[in-house]
Every structure is written in structure tokens, then in C-alpha cells.
Chains A and B, each alone.
Chain A
């Protein structure tokens, strides 16, 4: 670790159990984020977040501009959806999205002008309540992949003991480099976002956590911070070891604070809020400009992509258009993944829209992605060694096949976060994440009875 010497950077307070070493493949870490021109059309599903779906507020034929609300609901756990290009609404109705489900969506044909809505102005914030309302109105959800509405996460009670904010820039997934680029290309947005949130919500400790394979992100953030008079040492940088899954919320909290989030609890139960670096950077910009979440950055890479890039794209752009912008396929794709190779979802079709929480599109040709034949478990224990939650995946698998509800529960199946470390490590090529999901389904079915 050549980077240990950066002064003023903290080390993790503890090392947790498990974890694996995956080839980083951060091929695009030197590719600054470039903006993709307006696509011909965008498809905007009314549910791109965890919570209640929105109802479309526009009809076919309406003219819309960027930032205009096109879907909303009264539910608290939900976020509005905005138009991400200017143009005409051509369809309102169900579409198939990346996970295979049918969701109500608004399709907008772009007029190519990319005109901003006149209603966009910086939010006026006097109280915490104003702030949370503004965050909801921005349409922000966790941009790291979870898609949980940010205003819900930030709406903790003042007496709840929440004192720590962690900005997650660990980016432990192989191939993905957008969080890394965000720290470099938009370092001031990141820092100003951190400052504002810290001021408004009164966090005592703020940490920006980054893995040690991104030393230029540290130096850039420190340089920008040093140039700014407001910077004080209450915001600290933490250098994490580059080990998967360092960026998983519970693992990250343990590394940075030494606190463990119990099964079934939230980070706020141990006094912590974790935000992805893209989310905080967006907030930094939004509070200055008022422009809601209409685009996001993502990494496009993999052996089948002709020109790997980090790009900024209007949300709702079809994955096929994104791949086209990156030079198309240079080899026949065997697998296209929305997200990283460890936790991302294999797409059945590339004509699906990019959602708010999708941080990468990776495409691989057949000869470059290893397929291990599934063989019998030899009880080698590599899955147990790898599990960051200290579970015994092989035991959970056995219980799941037996449809043993109590057994699955006692073995802690619900604590599994599906990081994929066990399945990565398995020499017998067993699809353990699939079996963990089976165990969860067994529990859900059993408790529904």
C-alpha cells in the first residue's frame, strides 16, 4: 500500500470478518465523465425507488421541459419523477423494466433542445423541514444502487442519537469508476454538499470513506478542501483497504466507526447515516441551482464494449442508446449487466430504460466471463471464510433446499445482503446468492402462512 502516507487521512478503526479480493478492473478510472447528447426518447418508469409508485401527472401530447414533474404521489416514502429531456409525451402506460416487472411509465420524445423548465430555482431553506421537503422535491434516491429515497433516510428525529454521516466513495465493485471520477471531476460539489448537510442536520462526525486504490481522489479532495477557508477538521477522509465488499453499508459503518448494525436494523439505529458520494454531490449542486435529479453518471465498460467511458446521461435513456454512444459492441455480448459484476443484474434485453439507481452498464463477451460448472459442495468452507456477515452460506443453502423455515431463520438468511462473496469464492461454482434468495423466499412464504 503505497498510499499510506497521505497526512490527515484516517485508517479504519477495525477490520471485519470475511471479504474477498476481486480483480479491480478499474479500466476507466482515468476517463473523465463526459456528457451524452440528448437521446431520441426517454422512458421514465413511475417507480425507480423503494416505496410507493408515482402517478403520472402528464398526458400523451403534453409538451414538457427538463425538470418538470411528470409523476408524483402523496406518500412519504416515495420521490417524484421529472422530465429528463424537453419534448413531447408520446406514451403513458406500462413498460417492462430491467428486473422484468411491468411498471407505469411516461415516454418522452426529445425535441433535441434540452430546454430547462422555467420553474427551476434554488430551493429556499430556513429550517430542517424545508430542507427535507426540498430533498424530496429533487427526486433524489440513493444513487449507489439501493434506490432508497434520500429524504426518508435523512428524516431521523433529533433525539435519535444519530451523530455520524459517512459518505460512501469506497466503490468496491470491480469495473465501476464513476464515484472515483465524481470525487475528482466534481470535488467541490461533493464537499459543498457535505458541508450543507452537516450544517443543516447537525452531524458531529462526518467521514468520506474511499478505498486505498484511489489515491488521486484523496489528494484532489484535500486540495480543494485546503483551498477553502470554511473547511475544518470535522470532516475527515478515511482510507479503506481495497477489499470487496468494503462499500457495503454495514461493512463500511463497521470499518469507519466500529459499530455493528444488528440484523433487521437500520444504520440510524447505531447513530449513522450513509450516503453515496454521487448523492451528496447531487445535493451540493441541487441546493445551488434547484435542478432536480434528471441525469446521472455511470460507467460503461466490459470486454464487449467498443469504447468504455464514464458518461453523464439523462435518466430514462435506453441502455441500447447508451451502448451505441459508447461505440456499440465490439464482440457479441454474452451478458449485459446493469450495475457491477458482483451485485449487478443481468439484463434480458438492452431496450430497457436507465433508472436513477443504476451506476454502471457492463457488457461481456462469452470468452471473457468465467462460467464455472456447478458441482457438489465439498464443504471447503471458503464461503464461510468469505462472508462479511459471518454467516454459513453452505448451511443456509441446505436449509433452503429442505424448505426449513426455522432453519433458514436461525442460520441468519435474512442478514445476507447478497454481496456475492460466497458465490465468488466457491470452487464448486455453486450459485449461492441464488440459494440465499431462495432461503429468504422460504422464510417469507413460511411467515405468510
Chain B
């Protein structure tokens, strides 16, 4: 049998799992759909327009920057689509379209591609773009911009124009005119496009956990710790629930903080990272001058990820005893 030079030779293993990067990103997109549907109900068709503009700008920015840098095309992995959706979800529905495009360019070109593309960015691209937009266009990204439009005849509590997080404080508790917990849960309230419906976001989160795309550690520890701190701070279950359901906590804990590239790989590291996110979120919300702290807390913890990973390296097989002995020797 003459088969010379016809057989493929490669390193083992010769079988691979069915999972692919594209498949994972597709799962994230599916998980983000309920929140997208909710956003159209709450903010009208303009929400869809912003999502579409954001996604198209992100994909185009990725395509052009890869081309300019003469690198392999990566738009097929769908990560730019995920960034586009997340960026849109973090913007108010009233934002001018050109600002969405600007945000997309910041996210993809500056934060992602300039650091080497997928897997190399050290902070979450969508979040940093949001922060750049907040800093650059404060009027467009704050209180008055978050109005919810009533498209289905529902009672939408966005009329005051303030985000729900501006209507609660440590001194006064939940203020008059604040949306009810039920509104916060369903999402019929003011806020960024994708953050309003806790219900839709939770559905997406459960999907991601069932599909094993994300580990439940980060969302559970993040949301749980915020709940605990708020319960202690306010001494009131309603205020605690208001803090958990309102603002960007759900979208942050489920979709932004769990970004693979900018969160720790190890389970122990994930716990520390989520605790840090929760702590900073609470400090900003309770004592800061900003009503909302999720974006900043995640960005700060993103930067600490390499250090957290160094502290939480798993104990290599067969060295458990050695480690124990060292500890005991140190204790003596």
C-alpha cells in the first residue's frame, strides 16, 4: 500500500470536543436576546436601531482594523457581535447615532484590536467604551437621557427621567417617585437599553449556566454580596431588592463581569474577583457621587485579574502535601 505523504501527522489528541469559539459566542448572543426583546417593549423601535447600529459598527470596525493591521480576519468568531450588543445595552435609547458609532470604534479598535484582538484586551471593551462616552458626553449619558417610552400601553416608570439608582440613597432610602420592585423586575423603568429587565437578563444567565458557557460563581457571588452589603447598609429588604434589581447590576454580573478574557480562570480567583466587584459597586452606590457603580467596579477588577490569577494558582497534583508541610514549618 502506497500512502506516503498522504497521511496527516499532528500532535495528539486526534479527537476534539464539538465546542468552538463561534459556538460559545452564539450562545451568548442567544442569551442576550430576551433583554433585547424587553428593550424594544420599553424603549420602542429606537432601541432596535441602536442595537443594530452598534453591532454593525463593531463588526465593521473589527473587519477594517484587522485588514489595516494585515492580520487574519476574526469577525467569524462573532465576538464583535457580542461586543456590539453589550455596548448598545449599556447606552440610553436617546443617544445620538454617531455617538454609538464612536463608542463602537473605541471598544473594538482601541480596547480590543490595539491590544491584539480577541483574548488579549485587559478590560471589557463595551464597558470601557461606555465609560468613554459618559466622560465625553455627560449630558447624553446621564439622568435625562434614560426616559422610557411607553410603546405597549404599559405603565412605564421612566417619566421622571432619572435612572432608578438616582432615586435611592443611604440617607433617605427609596425616594418618592421611584419605580416599584415589580417594575424593576420586569423592566418597565428608565435606564440603559439592555439593563432594565432583570427578568430577561436572568433568563439569559440561566441559559448560559445550563449551556456551561459561564460558571455560576461570578454572578452568584457578585449579586449575593451586593445583596448582603445592601441589606446590612439599609437594614431593609425592599431597599436591598431595589439595589439588586435596579441599575446595571444584573447585566454587569451576568454578562460583563463573566467575560472570559477579563475575568480570572480559576474558581478561587473568580470568587475574589466577584467579591471585589461587589464591594466597589456598593461603595460607589452608597458613598460615591455617581448613582451607579457597576461599570467602574468591573473595569477596576478587570485590571486586577492578572494579579488575582497569580494568587490563586491551583495546587499542582502531588504537591498538596509539600504545601502543607511548608505551611506547618512556617507556623512553627
Say yes or no for A350: interface residue by CB 8 A criterion. yes
- Cβ contact within 8 Å between B1 and A323: yes
Interfacial residues of chain A within 6-22, with CB under 8 A of chain B in the complex? 16-17, 20, 22
Flag whether B289 is at the interface (Cβ < 8 A): no
Contact between chains at B316 and A423 (CB < 8 Å): no
Which residues of chain A come closer than 8 Å to B15, judged between CB atoms? 22-23, 174, 341-342, 369-370, 424
**Contact, CB under 8 Å: B9 / A346:** yes
Are A346 and B10 in contact, CB atoms less than 8 angstroms apart? Answer: yes
A341-B143 Cα distance, complex, nearest whole Å: 59
Of B3, B24, B265, B266, which is within 8 A of A427 by CB?
B24
Q: In the bound complex, do residue B12 and residue A379 qualify as a contact, i.e. CB atoms below 8 Å apart?
A: no
Q: Which of A328, A380, A388 contacts B24 (CB 8 A)?
A: A380
**Beta-carbon contact of A427 and B19 below 8 Å:** yes
Q: Which residues of B contact A377 (CB under 8 A)?
A: 119
Measured in the bound complex, the distance between the Cα atoms of B12 and A22 in whole Å is 14
CA distance A290 to B7 in the complex (A): 40
Which of the residues A17, A342, A420, A428 comes within 8 Å of B314, measured between beta carbons? A17
Residue B117 interfacial (CB < 8 Å): yes
Q: How far is the CA of A254 from the CA of B317 in the complex (A)?
A: 10
Q: Shortest beta-carbon distance, A397 to chain B, in Å?
A: 12
Check if B316 sits within 8 Å of A378, measured CB to CB. Answer: no
CB–CB B317/A433 < 8 A: no
Judging by beta carbons under 8 Å apart, are B12 and A418 in contact?
Answer: yes
Digitize B2-15: 1 where CB-to-A-CB distance is under 8 Å, 0 elsewhere. 01101111111111
The CA-CA distance from A229 to B119 in the complex, in Å, is: 63
A260-B321, A348-B9 known; A427 and B17 CB under 8 Å? yes
Chain A: interface residue count, which band? 35 or more
Choose from A328, A333, A337, A394 the contact partner of B265 (Cβ within 8 Å): A394
A424 touches which of B16, B260, B266, B314 (Cβ 8 Å): B16
- CB of B261 within 8 A of CB of A378, answer yes
Asked whether, in the complex, the Cβ of A428 is within 8 Å of the Cβ of B1, the reply is no
CB <8 Å contact, B11 and A260: no
Indicate whether A36 reaches chain B with its CB closer than 8 angstroms: no
Q: Which of B11, B20, B315, B321 gathers most chain A CB within 10 Å?
A: B11
**Is B320 on the interface with A (CB-CB < 8 A)?**
yes
Q: Shortest beta-carbon distance, B326 to chain A, in Å?
A: 13
Given A22-B15, A349-B4, A424-B13, check contact A392 B313 (CB 8 Å): yes
* Residues of chain B with a CB closer than 8 A to A389's CB: 316-318
In the complex, chain A residues 348-401 whose Cβ is within 8 Å of any chain B Cβ: 348-351, 364, 369-372, 375-382, 384, 388-392, 394
Q: Is A300 engaged at the interface, CB distance under 8 Å to the other chain?
A: no
Interface contact A350-B3, CB-CB below 8 Å: yes
Residues of chain B lying within 8 A (CB to CB) of residue A57? none
B177 within 8 Å of A (CB atoms): no
Judged by a CB distance under 8 angstroms, whether B180 is at the interface is no
Q: Which residues of B contact A412 (CB under 8 A)?
A: 316
A224–chain B nearest beta-carbon distance, Å:
34
Q: How far is the CB of A103 from chain B (nearest CB, A)?
A: 18
Q: Give the residue name and chain of the A residue nearest to B212 (CB).
A: A382
CB neighbors of A among B40-80 (8 A): 74, 77, 79
Query: Contact: A415 with B16, CB < 8 Å?
Result: no
In the bound complex, residues from chain B placing their C-beta under 8 Å from that of A260 are 317-318, 320-321
| Residue contact A341 to B13, C-beta cutoff 8 Å | yes
Q: Give how many A-B residue pairs fall within 8 Å (CB-CB).
A: 167
Q: A17-B317, A376-B120 are in contact. Are A346 and B8 (CB under 8 A)?
A: yes
Q: How far is the CA of A350 from the CA of B322 in the complex (A)?
A: 46
How far apart are the CA atoms of A157 and B84 in the complex, in Å?
Answer: 66
In the bound complex, what is the Cα–Cα distance between A429 and B8 (angstroms)?
17
Q: Is the CB–CB distance between B7 and A347 below 8 Å?
A: yes
Contact partner of A334 (CB less than 8 A), chosen from B8, B120, B322, is B8
Q: Which of A23, A328, A348, A427 has the most CB of B within 10 A?
A: A427
> Using Cβ atoms and an 8 Å threshold, which residues of chain B touch A378?
21, 24, 79, 118-119, 260-261
Does A375 lie within 8 Å of B77, measured CB to CB? yes
Are B265 and A390 in contact (CB-based, < 8 A)?
Answer: no
B263 (CB) vs chain A CBs: closest residue:
A379
CA gap between A425 and B317 in the complex, in Å: 19
Which residues of B lie under 8 Å from residue A5 when comparing CB positions?
A: none
Contact between A262 and B321 (Cβ–Cβ < 8 Å)? yes
Please, how many angstroms separate the alpha-carbon atoms of A187 and B69 in the complex? Answer: 64
Q: Are A335 and B23 in contact (CB under 8 A)?
A: no
A344 interfacial by beta-carbon distance below 8 Å? yes
Evaluate contact between A420 and B12: CB separation under 8 angstroms: yes
Contacting B at CB under 8 A, from A397-449, are: 412, 415, 418, 420, 423-429, 431, 433-434, 437
Interface presence of A326 (CB below 8 A): no
Cβ of B260 and Cβ of A335 under 8 Å apart? no
Task: Determine which of B18, B74, B319, B321 lies in contact with A376 in the assembled complex, contact meaning CB atoms within 8 Å.
Answer: B74
- A427 and B23 form a contact (CB under 8 A): yes
Given A174-B15, A415-B316, A425-B17, CB of A431 within 8 Å of CB of B10: yes
Closest B residue, CB atoms, query A414: B316
Residue contact B118 to A384, C-beta cutoff 8 Å:
no
Asked if A201 is at the interface of the complex by the 8 Å CB criterion, the answer is no
Q: Which of B293-332 contact A (CB under 8 A)?
A: 313-322
Question: Distance (Å) between the CB of B199 and the closest chain A CB?
Answer: 27
Q: How far is B177's CA from A390's CA once the two chains are assembled, in angstroms? A: 53
Report the Cα distance A424→B12, complex, angstroms.
9
On chain B, the residues within 8 Å of A61 by CB distance are: none
Cα-based distance from A382 to B320 in the complex (angstroms): 22
Docked-complex contact B322 and A381, CB < 8 angstroms: no
- CB < 8 Å neighbour of B322 from A16, A262, A420: A262
A390 to chain B, nearest CB (A): 4
- In the bound complex, residues from chain A placing their C-beta under 8 Å from that of B18 are 370
Chain A residue at minimal CB-CB distance from B24: A427
A77 within 8 Å of B (CB atoms) = no
**Interface presence of A116 (CB below 8 A):** no
Contacts of A388 in B (CB 8 A): 317
Cα–Cα, bound, A350→B314 (Å): 42
| Distance in Å: Cβ of B247 to nearest Cβ of chain A | 27
Please determine whether B10 and A415 come into contact, CB atoms closer than 8 angstroms. Answer: no
Q: Which residues of B contact A16 (CB under 8 A)?
A: 317
- A-B interface, 6 closest residue pairs, ranked by CB to CB distance from nearest: A420-B13, A381-B265, A262-B318, A434-B11, A389-B317, A427-B19
Could you name 28 residue pairs across A and B whose Cβ atoms are closer than 8 Å? A260-B317, A260-B321, A262-B322, A335-B9, A336-B3, A341-B14, A341-B15, A345-B12, A346-B8, A349-B7, A370-B16, A375-B21, A376-B119, A378-B24, A379-B119, A379-B261, A380-B24, A392-B266, A392-B314, A415-B317, A415-B318, A420-B13, A423-B12, A423-B13, A427-B19, A427-B23, A428-B20, A429-B16
On A, residues with C-beta under 8 Å from B are: 16-17, 20, 22-23, 174, 250, 254, 260-263, 265, 320, 323-324, 328-329, 332-337, 341-351, 364, 369-372, 375-382, 384, 388-392, 394, 412, 415, 418, 420, 423-429, 431, 433-434, 437
Given A345-B12, A434-B11, 17 more pairs with CB closer than 8 A: A250-B318, A260-B321, A333-B3, A336-B3, A341-B14, A346-B10, A375-B118, A376-B117, A379-B119, A390-B315, A415-B316, A420-B12, A423-B12, A427-B17, A427-B20, A428-B21, A434-B10
